[in-house]
Amino acid sequence: MDKLVVHGDSSLTGPLTVGGSKNTALPLMAATLLGDGPSTITNVPDLRDVRTFSKVIRYGGPSVTFDPKAHTLSVDATALETPVAPYEMVKKMRASFYMLGALLGRCGRAKVSLPGGCAWGPRPVDLHIKGMRAFGADIELDEGYVHASTPPGGLEGGTFRLDPVSVGATINLLLAAVTARGPSKIENAAAEPDVVAFGRALQEMGAQIDGLGTRTLEVQGVDRLRSGTFRNTPDRIELGTFLLMAATASPPGTPVKIRKGTHEHLGPVFKDKLAATGVDVSYDDETVTVTRPDTLRPVSIETAPFPGFATDLQAQWTVLLGTTDGTATVTDTIYDDRFKHVPELQRLGMEIGVDGNTATVRGGTPLQGAKVMSTDLRASVSLVMAGMIAEGRTDVLRVYHLDRGYEALEDKLGAAGVSIHREAYDEFAEPERESVAE
């Protein structure tokens, strides 16, 4: 297994460059299955999740080729004989569940494993299933699988209200609705930039969708979709992560540049909250410049669907709060139990406690390096971030979580002034015998 070793005596001076979005690339890959020939997606990050989803797609018959250096991925879905997404693959990555909408739309039938829970608790897919039923799909659950089929000639279409707002269900229902025979309406739909970019790609393929970026999506089904070449959008969570790293771990007064992100995708709440801490941020077309002040003010946040504060940035915000001169809270309204990083941050000395879905951080306590364990993707990057400000050496174990969503993080941070490297280790090795100081 690999770990990242971070030394806190270095400082982030930049610049940093944002790659393509994981959360947009995966639905774009699913959309290629609806096209009538080979499709290409550019600006695809070289991530474990992209490789996992490539395998899921290949399982059904299509070919997927990926050039990780060029960040270009091509799918030829002309042959799709096996409309199945098996448990062994879906359990590794929940986004594989997008195969349900894509396969139903493309083949009229699908057998897709239920994803199960994840590190931070249950993550239901009931809305995906109810929505497909509302659009006319016949769905049965058997032995951990969703068995779905459309009436002859395809889905009829229909109206479905998402409660709560769900990014995953919005994407899955769009995949199913765009080739339905009749019109469909998704109420209380997600408006995340990832959903909008994905919906625009479907439009380029010939789909008729109105309302992208709003809470009501109206779809008029079309017979066929065209294949094509699509450019993936920049990763807004990587941009937000880099911004928060610069706000936390750069030398005060030294501007850090972050390139190639789309700052509008951060949303207004994130920007306002960051400004309230006293961090100076200037947003230009493709470059965000962050200058850390001597002291940061504590600012509480609450996650919410876009345009609210992204749940994928709350763990990183928690670390930032550790460097402020007071007490503030982080409340996750999307996932109640998404705080697995907290006990690890406590091991580094952070003064932090969790009550219900709220973490309270008392800033200003210096952190000490230690060995810490990654539990999920965003938790692991928050531990790297904490290692950047901790005294001495921090080993972030089980970094495979981080590899799901950050491409070559150690290379990017290393080139930007951080002392960080990757090492292989044996998770089950006996610890060396130590003596206790008298």
From the list 127, 148, 290, 299, which residue makes contact with ligand UD1 (rule: CB under 6 A)? 127
- Spatial distance between the Cα atoms of 9 and 383, rounded to a whole number of angstroms: 16
Using CB under 6 A as the binding rule, whether residue 49 contacts ligand UD1 is answered as: no
Using CB under 6 A as the binding rule, whether residue 128 contacts ligand UD1 is answered as: yes
- Spatial distance between the Cα atoms of 150 and 184, rounded to a whole number of angstroms: 15
Using CB under 6 A as the binding rule, whether residue 268 contacts ligand UD1 is answered as: no
From the list 20, 108, 154, 305, which residue makes contact with ligand UD1 (rule: CB under 6 A)? 305
Using CB under 6 A as the binding rule, whether residue 248 contacts ligand UD1 is answered as: no
From the list 7, 51, 92, 123, which residue makes contact with ligand UD1 (rule: CB under 6 A)? 123
From the list 126, 294, 427, 434, which residue makes contact with ligand UD1 (rule: CB under 6 A)? 126
Residue in the block written with tokens 């503030």: 328
CA distances from 95 to 26, 36, 56, 84, 102 (A): 7, 23, 10, 14, 12
**Smallest distance from ligand UD1 to CB 228, Å:** 25
**Smallest distance from ligand UD1 to CB 125, Å:** 5
Q: Show Cβ contacts of residue 7 under 8 Å, excluding neighbours closer than 6 positions.
A: 369, 387, 392, 393, 394, 419, 420
**Smallest distance from ligand UD1 to CB 382, Å:** 13
Report, in angstroms and rounded to the nearest whole number, the Rg of the chain calculated over CA atoms: 22
* Secondary structure element (H or E) that encloses residue 302, with its range: strand 301-302
Using CB under 6 A as the binding rule, whether residue 101 contacts ligand UD1 is answered as: no
- Spatial distance between the Cα atoms of 243 and 382, rounded to a whole number of angstroms: 13
Using CB under 6 A as the binding rule, whether residue 311 contacts ligand UD1 is answered as: yes
Q: Which stretch binds ligand UD1 (CB under 6 A): 121-129, 208-216, 264-272, 345-353?
A: 121-129
Binding mask 137-176 for ligand UD1 (x = CB under 6 A): ---------------------------xxxxxx-------
- Spatial distance between the Cα atoms of 364 and 321, rounded to a whole number of angstroms: 9
Residue in the block written with tokens 């909250």: 273
CA distances from 214 to 192, 210, 347 (A): 9, 9, 42
Q: What is the DSSP letter of 324?
A: B
Q: Show Cβ contacts of residue 82 under 8 Å, excluding neighbours closer than 6 positions.
A: 59, 60, 61
Q: What is the largest CA-CA distance in the chain?
A: 80
CB closest to ligand UD1, residue no: 168
Q: Which is nearer to ligand UD1, 167 or 209 (CB)?
A: 167
The first and second tokens of residue 398, run together, are 């089980």
The residues annotated with a catalytic role in the active site are: 118
Q: If binding means CB under 6 A, how many residues of this protein chain bind ligand UD1?
A: 21
From the list 76, 192, 332, 410, which residue makes contact with ligand UD1 (rule: CB under 6 A)? 192
Residues 17-46 that bind ligand UD1 (CB under 6 A): 23
User: Within 10 A of 142 (CB to CB), how many other CB atoms are there?
Assistant: 8
Taking the CA atoms of 231, 236, 239 and 245 in sequence, report the sign of the dihedral they define.
Answer: negative
The first and second tokens of residue 56, run together, are 């899921």
Using CB under 6 A as the binding rule, whether residue 56 contacts ligand UD1 is answered as: no
Using CB under 6 A as the binding rule, whether residue 312 contacts ligand UD1 is answered as: yes
**Smallest distance from ligand UD1 to CB 209, Å:** 18
Q: Which is nearer to ligand UD1, 15 or 240 (CB)?
A: 240
Q: Which stretch binds ligand UD1 (CB under 6 A): 122-130, 181-189, 198-206, 396-404?
A: 122-130
Q: Which is nearer to ligand UD1, 71 or 265 (CB)?
A: 265
Indicate the SS3 state at residue 438.
coil
**Smallest distance from ligand UD1 to CB 170, Å:** 8
- Spatial distance between the Cα atoms of 97 and 148, rounded to a whole number of angstroms: 12
Q: Are 361 and 318 spatial neighbours (Cβ–Cβ below 8 Å)?
A: yes
Question: What are the residues binding ligand UD1 (CB under 6 A)?
Answer: 23, 123-128, 164-169, 190, 192, 305, 310-312, 334-335
